[in-house]
Structure 1
Amino acid sequence: MLGREYDCIIIGAGPAGLFCAAHLAPARVLVLEKMVLPGRKLLIAGSGQCNITHTGEVKSFTDHYGDHGAFLRPALMAFSNASVRKYFEERGVSFVEKESGKVFPASLSADDILDALLDACDEAGTEILSYTPAEMVSFDNGMYAVKTLHGTYYAKVLVLATGGKSYPQTGSTGDGFTFAEELGHTVAEPHPSLAPVYVSDHRLADLSGISIPGAGVSVWRDGKKLFARHGDLLITRFGYSGPVILDAARWMRAGDQIRVAFSPRKAEELDGLIRTACAASGTKQVQNLLDGTGCPDRLVKQIVKESDIPEGTTGSQLTAAQRSRLVRNLTAYPVDIDHVGDFRVAMATAGGVMLDEINKKTCESKIVPGLFCIGEVLDIDGDTGGYNIQACFSTAFLAAQRIRQIL
């Protein structure tokens, strides 16, 4: 047998791969990383501040992974958000909470998390080979062979921790999907998740930068309502972003229509408010009668214009048809999606190794013994707020428990 032999080979030195390796001592573990340095994608998480997890009861976390949260339940219960904090706190990293429960290292630097992971791997005796992309994998006679430019490596256990396809400049180019298929697995078609949307005829582009807390967004396809969500919305120069859009992007497609509720008030309530305001202050301009909508003044002014209400129209001059258009645009503003942001701007990948082919209690393949899939290579993608990195740590921990039993 040519090449070096290990107990376990992990492909990918991101948070999942490094965390798994750190929990496998005293096994002989090799981590193969295609980039020059490990953790490239981790270093840009949360704009470099590294939103590592979220607060709250871990039981509620499964609601934040689209349609596939149930698969993650054993992993999340085995290594929870509290476990993540404790693990890194014991390694000198302190944390702060902000923005509705998001958890960051107190330094607001992803370097602290990566350094802690690399130190843990060093303590575990892990061998990390950077700038060594895996080119091909195979399984024969109970051993995995991983071919690279620098040689072929062998192990009883193989872990795919390659991530998805988002931010390809960090090395996430879907390699793990190819390897999984080579070993007999099925891969659900990958597509961008946690991505902004680009819209056709963006009439609110001049309002780029305005954020609307608690906006309502419903998505329609072929005249049928698919779902509705509430959250913070950001108007951009090309369309819409913010948590409510990013979290729903996994289900959106080109040609869908978004209907945005800028105001927290329901249509009937808002209509009554406008009627009352017009009756009480009929000489005031319409845009000055909308303080109760809960919308920024610049947005209100533009929505009045979008409702075909001439500038200078007063409350007493507002017609029923104009009022109806105004209420509709404040509570169900129609936006046609031109396209969802691609993998270059998406924060995560939807799709991946099919979950019914993976044991959710161990993250081990049901098809090939000794093969493990962890992190974003799986068909899971979380909401914004640290849920994706949490899934990396939880699945890595679960896999490591089983790998130690095998070895």
Structure 2
Amino acid sequence: MDPYDVAVIGGGPAGLFCAIHAASPSSRVVLFEKNEQPGKKLLLSGTGQCNITHAGEIRDFLTRYGDHGKFVKPALMGFSNTDLIRFFSDRGLAMMEEENGKIFPKTRSAADVLSLLLGECRTRGVEVRCGEPVHSVAKTADGFLITTGTGAYPARSVVITAGGASYPKTGSTGDGARIAAALGQPVTDLSPALTPVSVQDYPFAALAGIPFEDIPFSLWHGGKKTGSFSGDILFTHTGLSGPGILDASRYFTAGDMLRVSFAGKIPRDAFERDLAGLLLSQGTRLVRTAMAGLHLPDRLLRKILELSGVPDDLTCAHLTTAQRKEIVTRCTEFPFVVDRLGDFSIAMATRGGIALEHVNQKTMESKIVPGLFFAGEVLDIDGDTGGYNLQAAFSTGYAAAMALRKRRDTPS
């Protein structure tokens, strides 16, 4: 058979968007999807409502990808959040911005996003082959040979957009990294990202569901402080979650310590002075009654006092200096030791994948295997919650497509 001009492996947002923009009347583009229908993971995004991107200046996105903002910069600048919003609104799917900056379709439906993308594939003549997982890709003299359970397909260029390894029930099982590695492309180890953490000897199981808005916490590794963060945190039955924890989880390893300030952004010494003054002025009142004025959740305050060795009937006048300091520590630097990170079944993204130093950041083409491209979560890019990962998927998919079009349109 005649070779395809472009073969895209993986029918998520990066793959669909790449196929749409790589297609033209003069080129043959095929997309292989292992599931019976594309976009299975996309349908779960934003609890089915599809937080597609984030508001604000696109340059502000660069701090949202851990240490890899520099790599993804050309793709984001080449196809920004405003470009993405315009793409969908021009085709009849308007977007809306929430107070927190998250952008959703006005219909609040990920299915509508997927339907539009699939409609564009049909309009542009993309051949979508579902239920056909790719088993291997081999380099040939003229390009590549893609082998599936159904047959073998030649292609001049290949774009791997098969995602990472999170939510394996959606078909995201690290296939892209495996295929790339077999072609000689360096890959880094895959691990969960955007995931909650379980905590050793966790004392707040009974308080599961209590949220804390925009509170600071620090990360300690081997007794040394290695990072400072701030964000929303949620108590779970086994540990900590919430956007702040999920975003920072890319830096956590088992045995690390998180020190969380339930007192907010007030420094420890200032909190200690305020607490000492409060206790001194209310000597005959119970400690837990006096501390109610600090606006900590009552159930949390009672647990902190219990852990600090303060009986329910202790008055302020009888609180020892050691007990007061223990309260201060637990309010401003509560220590949580990471037992383990949530696994791929609950992680929202994947850390690791195609090693970025071997990929051209402007074109998404391999520096090792000519004609091989990558886009989306298969790359070693994991963004924060809030639409940053989907934006990176669309932007890198677009960058790869533009590079392929330029190559096709440039005389040899």
Identify the TM-score tier after normalising by the shorter chain. over 0.9
Q: Which amino acid aligns with 1:274?
A: L
| CA deviation vs aligned residue, 1:26-75 (integer Å, no higher than 9, x gap) | 12111000011110000001111111101111011110001111001100
Q: In structure 2, what is the equivalent of residue 75 of structure 1? A: 75
> 1:138 is paired with a residue of what secondary structure?
strand
CA distance 1:69–1:151, change in 2 (3 Å): same
* Alignment pair present for 1:207 and 2:207: yes
Q: In structure 2, what is the equivalent of residue 222 of structure 1? A: 222
Q: In structure 1, what is the equivalent of residue 376 of structure 2? A: 375
Q: In structure 2, what is the equivalent of residue 25 of structure 1? A: 23
Pairwise mapping of residues 92-103 of structure 1 onto structure 2 (< 5 A)? 92-98=92-98, 100-103=100-103
| CA deviation vs aligned residue, 1:320-341 (integer Å, no higher than 9, x gap) | 1111000100111111111001
Q: In structure 1, what is the equivalent of residue 366 of structure 2? A: 365
Residue 116 of structure 1, CA deviation: 1.1
Q: Which amino acid aligns with 2:36?
A: V
Residue 292 of structure 1, CA deviation: 4.7
1:353 and 1:292 mapped to 2: Cα distance? 52
| CA deviation vs aligned residue, 1:102-132 (integer Å, no higher than 9, x gap) | 1111121111111111111111111111110
Pairwise mapping of residues 336-351 of structure 1 onto structure 2 (< 5 A)? 336-351=337-352
Pairwise mapping of residues 180-199 of structure 1 onto structure 2 (< 5 A)? 180-199=180-199
Q: In structure 2, what is the equivalent of residue 44 of structure 1? A: 44
| CA deviation vs aligned residue, 1:227-276 (integer Å, no higher than 9, x gap) | 01000000000100001110111111111111111111221111111112
1:96 and 1:302 mapped to 2: Cα distance? 41
2:170 and 2:293 mapped to 1: Cα distance? 46
> 1:275 is paired with a residue of what secondary structure?
helix
Q: In structure 1, what is the equivalent of residue 9 of structure 2? A: 11
Q: In structure 2, what is the equivalent of residue 233 of structure 1? A: 233
**Native 8 Å contact 1:270 1:293 kept in 2:** no
Q: In structure 2, what is the equivalent of residue 60 of structure 1? A: 60
Q: Which amino acid aligns with 2:328?
A: V
* Alignment pair present for 1:275 and 2:276: yes
CA distance 1:73–1:201, change in 2 (3 Å): same
Q: In structure 2, what is the equivalent of residue 289 of structure 1? A: 290
Q: Which amino acid aligns with 2:272?
A: D
Q: In structure 2, what is the equivalent of residue 311 of structure 1? A: 312
> 2:274 is paired with a residue of what secondary structure?
helix
**Native 8 Å contact 1:134 1:146 kept in 2:** yes
1:186 and 1:25 mapped to 2: Cα distance? 28
Residue 4 of structure 1, CA deviation: 5.8
1:293 and 1:141 mapped to 2: Cα distance? 71
Residue 196 of structure 1, CA deviation: 0.2
> 2:22 is paired with a residue of what secondary structure?
coil
Q: Which moved more, 1:234-243 or 1:215-224?
A: 215-224
* Alignment pair present for 1:110 and 2:118: no
Pairwise mapping of residues 318-329 of structure 1 onto structure 2 (< 5 A)? 318-329=319-330
1:159 and 1:294 mapped to 2: Cα distance? 53
1:134 and 1:122 mapped to 2: Cα distance? 21
Percent identity between the aligned chains? 46
2:164 and 2:293 mapped to 1: Cα distance? 44
Residue 288 of structure 1, CA deviation: 2.1
2:168 and 2:241 mapped to 1: Cα distance? 20
Q: Which amino acid aligns with 2:306?
A: K
Give the TM-score taking structure 1 as reference length. 0.97
Q: What is the root-mean-square deviation of aligned Cα atoms in Å?
A: 1.1
2:215 and 2:2 mapped to 1: Cα distance? 56
> 1:365 is paired with a residue of what secondary structure?
coil
CA distance 1:99–1:287, change in 2 (3 Å): farther
**Native 8 Å contact 1:219 1:226 kept in 2:** yes
2:381 and 2:99 mapped to 1: Cα distance? 24
Structure 1 residue runs of 5 or longer lacking an equivalent are: none
Give the TM-score taking structure 2 as reference length. 0.96
Q: Which amino acid aligns with 2:396?
A: T
Residue 80 of structure 1, CA deviation: 0.4
Residue 294 of structure 1, CA deviation: 3.9
Q: Which amino acid aligns with 1:166?
A: S
> 1:234 is paired with a residue of what secondary structure?
strand
Q: Which amino acid aligns with 1:178?
A: R
Residue 303 of structure 1, CA deviation: 1.0
**Native 8 Å contact 1:273 1:292 kept in 2:** no
1:99 and 1:163 mapped to 2: Cα distance? 30
2:176 and 2:345 mapped to 1: Cα distance? 18
Structure 2 residue runs of 5 or longer lacking an equivalent are: none
